[in-house]
């Protein structure tokens, strides 16, 4: 390191650093420069390394330095103090390790490519292997800070060459780390892979061609450690939500593996997570470009077994199964597949949607029905093919005929009379279903339905008001485009009521009232 600096009274530095670290707002370059004119970086670094017996000095100086390095001026000083960063990454203190990782991130976010090559500077100071050590052996805070630094490095010139070297046999290659470290280390490396996967499609492609996605499969197949399996499933849940990840994930055996977990795992929580990952993956718009219907049907079949009455049924698992079917049904092609068998799996969704025996189960089913019916799809993709539409109609009427309500309109009145969560889900289901003429007729046959969806006082939350209003709009649009019902005098009043409700908007409006004079008798003493 350079010449050592010190302060005669560390409490003076502690007080000044505390004031700087706790000062409200975001520091600017001027305030940082002013502070460093009084206490140069070498002074702060030397105090941090020696610490002495001053209580709170380390935490205060770390907080102070983190604020300094987050500014452009502070970050510009980092290249001159790389030996300090190197020492910090090797420190025994987890707090100092975390600071060093954050310092690398700040440098990579603010470097001036005209004056310094970030990749060359990190290579010359052996920084990347030290970041990996922090990832593997640091506490959770340090590991997270290390991941953030490496993720930032991936977006810098030359950064990917450091993370994914051409020679795959080097110790720092992520594939080698996964193969050699502890179970905790493997989970952390895979968490880093998931972070890198989200950076861009090109980075995801490098990860795929490095065969790192197979490491996820290997961990899931390893049933010796349930906690590791669940951790990796959570990471896959994140990967399945990355839009550009669909192509790469679907090229693997992941879908088949998830179906196997749903069918055979003895752990309810593993089956539940596998269902949600499958649902997310199959709700992506481009998924059918990369997977065949056979694979999707196999997963649907595995989910359906969860919904069949059995001794192992758990209510939470049923809710996850219904939610997963809703994800799959959110796409037009996925929804059609849910109707493709002689006993379509959608029957479980419809039965549960109007069954008041379980609140969470009914709520999940109503939202799933809304997705399948097309509530979240573009207008030109709401309706399904002829066979699927006919199956949907039959299932709705069959469910109604087996209930005390007898008709679909009766079932709708029942769900709209329940609590706000159920009503919100019911609004979504009606919004999607009302594009079908037969369903529109059911809506118009019950004044209670129209009264509920047109009443601005029905809902008190913003999300409830907006869902009710969207439902009202959908019914109004469907009615306006129906030549058969438009000519029916009995429906004229309903159309007027809907038009007025749409005009009023989604939110509660107080009726205008004139000010009234108040007459009071005089007070007498």
In this structure, is the dihedral angle defined by the CA atoms of residues 354, 360, 363 and 365, taken in order, positive or negative? negative
Going from N- to C-terminal start, the domains of the chain cover: 1-163, 418-505
Q: Which residues lie closer than 8 Å to 69 by C-beta, 6 or more apart?
A: 75, 77, 78, 102, 103, 106, 107
Give the per-residue pLDDT at 174.
Answer: 94
SS3 138: coil
Longest alpha-carbon distance in the chain = 100
| Distance between CA atoms of residues 195 and 197, nearest Å | 5
How much is the pLDDT for 522? Answer: 53
Q: Give the tens place of pLDDT for each residue, 90-112.
A: 999 999 999 999 999 999 999 88
Provide the CATH topology of domain 1-163: 1.25.10
Query: What is the reported pLDDT for 215?
Result: 93
DSSP class of 378: -
Q: What global pTM score does this model have?
A: 0.83
d(CA 91, CA 93): 5
Residue 504 neighbours by CB under 8 Å, 6+ apart? 456
What pLDDT does 4 receive? 43
Q: What's the rounded Cα separation, in Å, for the pair 358 and 380? A: 34
pLDDT at residue 204, as a whole number: 94
C-alpha distances (whole Å) from 341 to each of 127, 275, 281, 309 are 57, 20, 22, 19
Contact indicator for 97, 91 with CB cutoff of 8 Å: yes
SS3 label, residue 173: coil
Q: How many CB atoms lie within 10 A of CB 35?
A: 21
Torsion angles phi and psi, residue 114, rounded to 5: -75, -25
Q: Using alpha carbons, list the distances in angstroms from residue 513 to 69, 497, 509, 510.
A: 59, 22, 12, 9
Task: Please report the pLDDT score of residue 311 as a whole number.
Answer: 65
For residue 247, the SS3 value is helix
Q: Dihedral of CA 273/233/261/242: which sign?
A: positive
Residue 376 backbone dihedrals phi, psi, to 5 degrees: -100, 5
Pinpoint the alpha helices (H) of 402-488: 408-416, 420-433, 437-444, 447-454, 462-480, 483-486
Q: What confidence score (pLDDT) does residue 360 get?
A: 94
pLDDT values of the chain reduced to their tens digit, one per residue, 525 residues: 344 445 566 788 899 999 999 988 888 999 999 999 999 999 999 888 886 677 888 999 999 999 999 999 999 999 999 999 999 999 999 999 999 999 999 999 998 877 788 999 999 999 999 999 999 999 999 999 999 999 999 999 999 999 999 888 899 999 999 989 999 999 999 999 999 999 999 999 999 999 999 999 999 888 788 889 899 999 998 988 888 888 888 888 888 889 999 998 888 999 999 999 999 989 988 888 888 888 889 999 999 999 988 766 788 999 999 999 999 999 999 999 999 988 899 999 999 999 988 899 999 999 999 999 999 999 999 999 999 999 999 999 999 999 888 899 999 999 999 999 999 999 999 999 999 999 999 999 999 999 999 998 999 999 999 999 999 999 999 998 887 777 777 788 899 999 999 999 998 664 444 455 555 555 543
Report pLDDT digits (tens) over 291-346: 888 888 999 999 999 998 876 678 899 999 999 999 999 999 999 999 998 889 99
CA distance 448 to 454: 10
Other Cβ atoms closer than 10 A to 314 = 13
- For residues 485 and 501, the answer to whether their CB atoms sit within 8 Å is no
Q: How many CB atoms lie within 10 A of CB 34?
A: 12
Secondary structure of residue 49 in the 3-state scheme: helix
Per-residue pLDDT of 165-193, as tens digits, reads 988 889 999 999 998 999 999 999 999 99
Q: How far apart are CA 454 and CA 439, in angstroms?
A: 18
Provide the strand spans (E) within 19-90: none
The pLDDT value recorded for residue 52 is 62
Q: Which pLDDT score, from 0 to 100, does residue 420 have?
A: 95
């Amino acid at each position: 390191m350079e010449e050592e600096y010190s302060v005669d009274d560390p409490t003076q530095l502690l007080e000044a650093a505390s004031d700087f670290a706790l000062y409200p707002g975001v520091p600017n370059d001027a305030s940082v420069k002013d502070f460093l004119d009084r206490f140069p970086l070498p002074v702060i670094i030397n105090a941090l390394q020696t610490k002495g017996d001053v209580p709170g000095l380390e935490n205060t100086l770390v907080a102070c330095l983190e604020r300094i390095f987050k500014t452009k001026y502070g970050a510009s000083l980092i290249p001159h103090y790389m030996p300090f960063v190197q020492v910090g990454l090797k420190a025994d203190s987890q707090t100092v390790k975390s600071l060093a990782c954050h310092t690398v991130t700040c440098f990579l976010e603010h470097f001036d490519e005209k004056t310094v090559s970030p990749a060359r500077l990190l290579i010359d100071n052996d920084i990347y292997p030290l970041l990996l050590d922090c990832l593997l052996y640091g506490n959770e805070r340090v590991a997270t800070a290390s991941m953030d630094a490496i993720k930032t490095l991936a977006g810098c010139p030359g950064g990917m060459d450091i993370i994914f070297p051409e020679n795959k046999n080097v110790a720092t290659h992520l594939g080698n780390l996964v193969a050699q470290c502890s179970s905790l280390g493997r989970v952390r490396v895979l968490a880093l892979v998931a972070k890198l996967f989200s950076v861009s499609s090109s980075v995801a492609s490098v990860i795929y061609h490095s065969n790192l996605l197979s490491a996820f499969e290997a961990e899931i197949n390893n049933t010796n450690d349930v906690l590791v399996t669940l951790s990796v499933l959570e990471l896959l849940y994140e990967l399945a939500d990355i839009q550009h990840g669909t192509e790469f994930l679907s090229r693997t055996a992941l879908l088949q593996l998830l179906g196997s977990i749903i069918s055979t795992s003895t752990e309810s929580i593993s089956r539940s997570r596998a269902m949600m990952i499958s649902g997310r993956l199959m709700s992506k718009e481009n998924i059918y470009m990369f997977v065949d219907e056979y694979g999707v049907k196999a997963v649907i079949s595995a989910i359906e077994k969860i919904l069949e009455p059995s001794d192992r049924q758990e209510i939470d698992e049923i809710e996850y199964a219904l939610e997963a079917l809703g994800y799959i049904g959110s796409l037009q092609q996925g929804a059609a597949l849910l109707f493709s068998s002689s006993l379509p799996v959608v029957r479980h969704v419809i039965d549960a949607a109007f069954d008041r025996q379980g609140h969470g189960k009914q709520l999940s089913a109503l939202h799933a029905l809304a997705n399948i019916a097309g509530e979240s799809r573009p207008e030109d993709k709401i309706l399904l093919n002829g066979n699927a539409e006919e199956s949907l109609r039959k299932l709705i009427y069959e469910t109604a005929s087996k209930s005390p309500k007898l008709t679909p309109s009766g079932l709708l009145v029942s769900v709209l009379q329940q609590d706000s969560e159920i009503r919100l889900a019911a609004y979504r289901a009606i919004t999607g279903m009302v594009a079908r003429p037969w369903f529109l007729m059911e809506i118009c046959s019950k004044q209670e339905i129209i009264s509920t969806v047109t009443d601005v006082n029905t809902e008190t939350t913003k999300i409830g008001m907006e869902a009710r209003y969207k439902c009202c709009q959908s019914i109004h649009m469907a009615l306006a485009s129906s030549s058969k019902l438009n000519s029916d005098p009995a429906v004229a009043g309903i159309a007027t009521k809907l038009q007025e409700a749409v005009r009023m908007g989604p939110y509660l409006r107080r009726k205008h009232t004139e000010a009234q004079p108040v007459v009071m008798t005089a007070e007498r003493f």
